[in-house]
Amino acid sequence: TQLLEQSPQFLSIQEGENLTVYCNSSSVFSSLQWYRQEPGEGPVLLVTVVTGGEVKKLKRLTFQFGDARKDSSLHITAAQPGDTGLYLCAGDSSNDYKLSFGAGTTVTVRA
Amino acid sequence: ETGVTQTPRHLVMGMTNKKSLKCEQHLGHNAMYWYKQSAKKPLELMFVYSLEERVENNSVPSRFSPECPNSSHLFLHLHTLQPEDSALYLCASSQVHDISVGNEQFFGPGTRLTVL
């Protein structure tokens, strides 16, 4: 199993501030997914990045895949209370059907 | 129904009970998964079915028994569970071997299981 480390573990910010969540590994992934999970619900897929150096934007969320495809970041601009949740990254090795999940970053945006 | 559905959403059971969790995916995917999510732990993969064949049993105790009768349905049969089995059980599906999207997994809402 390939280990994905997420940092920070917890993040609490004021509405309107920016934040960045990191996902790092020593392993190379063919693709990487980001999910957001709200309490009592399942994770919801936000984005998939597949190319080294790729940047994807989803409204105020910007996702970047590292050049070496070992790490990724999620940046939220002008965070809103609706962005509150557990953010999970998951790496995909092209050889099988399994995802390796990070432990997650709990983001709280205060109004 | 759309996406991935799970029933029941909440389940409380005694250690001697037998119960089953049900998952149904409406996405036409060819693989389904059971995960366990405990507080402060990463998602733990329990079982994987690809094309209705179990391809992964991640050292899960025999008191958990999966069943995949077809590509749209997945069950998790529970018997003589322990209190430490209390967790959120998540079902997911994906279309494996579609390299254009990687292994994007779509999750159900989960079943919150409490074992007394």
B76-111: pLDDT as tens digits: 999 999 999 999 999 999 987 665 666 889 999 999
Q: What is the pLDDT of residues B14-58, one digit of tens each?
A: 988 899 999 999 999 999 999 999 987 889 999 999 877 777 777
Instruction: Report whether A74 contacts A58 (CB < 8 A).
Output: no
Position A3 confidence tier, pLDDT thresholds 50, 70, 90: confident
Handedness of CA B26, B27, B30, B34 (dihedral sign): negative
Quote the pLDDT of residue B59. 85
Tell me the one-letter amino acid at B116: L
Residues of A with CB under 8 A from a CB of B: 30-33, 35, 40-45, 48, 50, 88, 90, 92, 94, 97-99, 101-104
Q: What is the pLDDT of residues A43-99, one digit of tens each?
A: 999 999 999 999 999 999 999 999 999 999 999 999 999 999 999 999 987 666 788
Q: What does DSSP assign to residue A96?
A: S
Paired residues of B85 in beta bridges: none
Quote the pLDDT of residue B50. 86
B residues 72-91 closer than 8 Å to A (CB)? 88, 90
Interface residue of A98, A100, A106 to substitute, partner B, most B CBs within 10 Å: A98
Nearest-by-CA chain B residue for A99: B103
| Nearest CA among B7, B9, B48 for reference residue B29 | B48
User: Over 60: is that where the pLDDT of A1 sits?
Assistant: no
Within 8 A of B31 by CB-CB distance, chain A residues are: 97
Q: Does B55 sit within 8 Å of A42, measured CB to CB? A: no
Quote the pLDDT of residue B54. 76
User: Over 60: is that where the pLDDT of A39 sits?
Assistant: yes
In chain B, what is the greatest distance between 2 CA atoms, to the nearest angstrom? 46
Quote the pLDDT of residue B1. 65
Quote the pLDDT of residue B58. 73
Return the SS3 of A77: coil
Average pLDDT over residues B55-66: 87
Within 8 A of A65 by CB-CB distance, chain B residues are: none
Please state whether A69 falls in left (phi above 0), alpha (psi between -120 and 50) or beta: left
Quote the pLDDT of residue A2. 60
Tokens found for residue B36: 């366990």
Instruction: Tell me the CA distances in angstroms from B105 to A65, A92, B91, one per residue in order.
Output: 18, 10, 10
Within 8 A of A90 by CB-CB distance, chain B residues are: 105
Within 8 A of A45 by CB-CB distance, chain B residues are: 104-106
Q: How close is the nearest chain B Cα to the Cα of A53, in Å?
A: 16
Quote the pLDDT of residue B103. 80
At residue B85, φ and ψ (nearest 5 deg) are: -80, -5
Average pLDDT over residues B67-76: 95
Q: How close is the nearest chain B Cα to the Cα of A47, in Å?
A: 9
